[in-house]
Amino acid sequence: AQSVTQLGSHVSVSEGALVLLRCNYSSSVPPYLFWYVQYPNQGLQLLLKYTSAATLVKGINGFEAEFKKSETSFHLTKPSAHMSDAAEYFCAVRGNSASKIIFGSGTRLSIRP
Amino acid sequence: DAGVIQSPRHEVTEMGQEVTLRCKPISGHDYLFWYRQTMMRGLELLIYFNNNVPIDDSGMPEDRFSAKMPNASFSTLKIQPSEPRDSAVYFCASSLAGRETQYFGPGTRLLVL
């Protein structure tokens, strides 16, 4: 069965600092992996996705994630945090059904001025 | 291009009352998902449809919950009778077959007193 584990329910960084949100996956088939972002009082929005092409995936708002099969990881990074990045971030993996997605528990990112 | 539309955005009701949440997926999408989000349990998939047919309802918590999709452009999630523990944000999402990306609506915030 497919699953994801997000390490750290809350991450706080200073504005301008590196953002690193950790995600490890488990999948019995080649994984399709996603990062979604949820801003306050809004629905989830796709940040980026990995579908077995390039291992370094670039997304919106300057975020990127690297697929590392040997580490079963798909960590999300951004070189320089901005106040507008404050949100909840969800890592996800495609489930057994091609259209079903399994979401992680989420990581809340706070940005300190 | 309109995204996923949900109504109402907020609902406050009393225990025992019937609640109906509505969703209009993105035109042309053939998958529709209902999720529930709470602080305690995170984001849970309740049920999803393909071409208006329920495919997996294993996430529906109890018989008090029911979902229908009478046509490609409309779905409802009904709770009857409602209980305080049903208080949550309910999201609807849609996707296109062969495309893993799900597009989320803004959610309905339900409070059962």
Q: Is any Cβ of chain A less than 8 angstroms from the Cβ of B58?
A: no
How far away is chain B from the Cα of A76, in angstroms, using its nearest Cα? Answer: 18
- Rounded average pLDDT over A32-38: 95
Q: Contact B56/A103, CB-based, under 8 Å?
A: no
Cα(B60)–Cα(B58) distance, integer angstroms: 6
Instruction: Summarize the confidence of residues A13-32 as an average pLDDT.
Output: 92
Q: What's the pLDDT tens digit per position in A24-33?
A: 999 877 889 9
Per-residue model confidence (pLDDT) at position A90: 96
Q: Which residues have CB under 8 Å from B9's CB, separation 6+?
A: B106, B107, B108, B109
pLDDT digits (tens, 9 = 90+) for B20-57: 999 999 999 999 999 999 988 889 999 999 999 999 99
pLDDT tens profile B58-113 = 999 889 999 999 999 999 999 999 999 999 999 999 998 877 789 999 999 999 99
DSSP H or E segment with residue B57: none
Determine contact: B95 vs chain A, CB below 8 A.
yes
- A77, pLDDT greater than 80: yes
Q: Where are the alpha helices (DSSP H) in chain A?
A: none
Instruction: Enumerate the residues of chain A whose CB falls inside 8 A of the CB of residue B102.
Output: 44, 46, 101
Q: What is the mean pLDDT of chain B?
A: 94
